[in-house]
Amino acid sequence: MDAIMKEELREGIRESRKTLEGYRWFGSQVQEALDALDEIERFVDDPKPEDKPRIAGMVREMRGRLGPYSGFVRVLMEILTKLEAWLEQQP
Note the pLDDT tens digit of each residue in 51-62.
Answer: 999 999 999 999
CB 66 within 8 A of CB 81: no
Rounded-to-integer distance, Cα 21 and Cα 24, Å: 5
Rounded-to-integer distance, Cα 1 and Cα 67, Å: 29
Q: Stretch 6-18: mean pLDDT, rounded?
A: 95
Give the pLDDT score at 47. Answer: 93
Instruction: For 74-89, write each residue's pLDDT tens digit.
Output: 999 999 999 999 999 9
What predicted TM-score, i.e. pTM, was given to this entire model? 0.90
Confidence grade of residue 46 (pLDDT, cut at 50, 70, 90): very high
CB 12 within 8 A of CB 37: no
Q: pLDDT above 70 covers what percent of the chain?
A: 99
Single out the residue of 80, 34, 76 nearest to residue 56, CA to CA: 80
Give the pLDDT score at 87. Answer: 95
CB 78 within 8 A of CB 11: no
Rounded-to-integer distance, Cα 66 and Cα 77, Å: 8
